[in-house]
Structure formats: C-alpha cells, structure tokens
C-alpha cells in the first residue's frame, strides 16, 4: 500500500465493529466502494484476518456500512448508510444511477471524525441480509462513567 500524503481536504472516518475502531483517511469525493476497498486493504496490511471471529471479506461489496440513528446518541442504534434503489424508481429515471447517499462521504453528509459501523456480509447470511434489522450492528461505544465508588468515598458523620 503506497504511503499517501494527507491534505486538508481529506476526512478521517472512524469505522467501528464491536470494540474495534479503525481510523481511515479518505477523500470526501471518493465513492463508498473505493473506501471499503481501502478499509479492507488497511486491515490486510496490518495482518488482521478477522474481526470478532468473522473473516474479512474478499470483495468491498461484502462490507456493509451503518450510521448512527441519532448522531448525539449512538446508543439509539444504527441504520444502513446505503439505501438500495427500488426497481420502479430506476425505470422512472430511465437509467440506473446511484443515490446521493451512495455516492461519497460528502454526499452522505459525513464529516471529519464521523463514526461508521461496519459488518460483513457472509455467504451464509446472504439470504438473510434483507432481514437484518437496524439493531444488528455490533458496536460498543466507550463510556466515560466512573467506576462505582472510585470518586466517591463515604465518610461517617461525627
């Protein structure tokens, strides 16, 4: 993988799967398929062959991306970033064009530091992909709550 010089226009995206976070520097105008390919390549270069027991896919199309339902509260769940177009819409338009959300990070409204959930489509779950719910994203966000009793000491009143 050639070393790429960062420039001010690039975005740093955070890809999360369970407790694993991958930071990736991307061009805001790259299409999502090329970003998924860069993500897979970055994982392979660092000798990652699986995440949470699931092997890395060979094709970028097998990487599914999700965005938080509520940007201020990721605990509310995640939803697919790519919204498949319906065949009726394609017939009406006359040609198959990708939707604005499918085009690029900029088109999807992603900003520097945005968090994306990732999951992998496996051969066994190809038929179930349409049945995967919005709550099937395995993302654990860190919490900054103090451990019980670490900050508060009970003192006996005299």
**For the segment 55-88, what is each residue's pLDDT rounded down to a tens digit?**
999 999 999 999 999 988 888 899 998 665 544 4
* Ramachandran sector of residue 123 (left: φ over 0; alpha: ψ -120 to 50; beta: rest): alpha
Residue 112, Cα to own-chain centre: how many angstroms?
14
| 42 in Cβ contact with 25 (< 8 Å) | no
**For the segment 16-46, what is each residue's pLDDT rounded down to a tens digit?**
999 899 999 999 889 999 999 999 999 999 9
In this predicted structure, what is the pLDDT of residue 155? Answer: 45
DSSP-derived letter for residue 62 is G
Closest by alpha carbon to 109, among 7, 32, 17?
A: 32
Q: What is the pTM of this model?
A: 0.73
| 78 in Cβ contact with 114 (< 8 Å) | no
**For the segment 105-153, what is each residue's pLDDT rounded down to a tens digit?**
888 889 999 999 999 987 655 545 545 555 688 888 887 766 655 444 4
């Amino acid at each position: 993988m050639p070393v790429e010089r960062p420039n001010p226009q690039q975005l740093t995206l955070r890809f999360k799967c369970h407790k694993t976070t991958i930071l990736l520097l991307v061009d805001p105008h790259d299409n999502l398929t090329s970003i998924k390919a860069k993500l897979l390549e970055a994982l392979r270069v660092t000798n990652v062959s699986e995440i949470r027991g699931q092997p890395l896919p060979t094709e970028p199309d097998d990487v599914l991306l999700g965005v938080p339902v509520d940007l201020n509260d990721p605990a509310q769940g995640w939803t697919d970033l790519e919204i498949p177009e319906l065949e009726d819409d394609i017939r009406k338009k006359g040609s198959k064009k990708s939707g604005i959300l499918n085009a690029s990070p900029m088109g999807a409204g992603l900003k520097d530091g945005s968090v994306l959930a990732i999951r992998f489509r496996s051969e066994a779950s190809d038929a179930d992909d349409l049945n995967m719910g919005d709550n099937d994203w395995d993302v654990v966000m860190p919490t900054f709550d103090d451990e019980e009793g670490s900050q508060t000491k009970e003192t006996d009143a005299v």
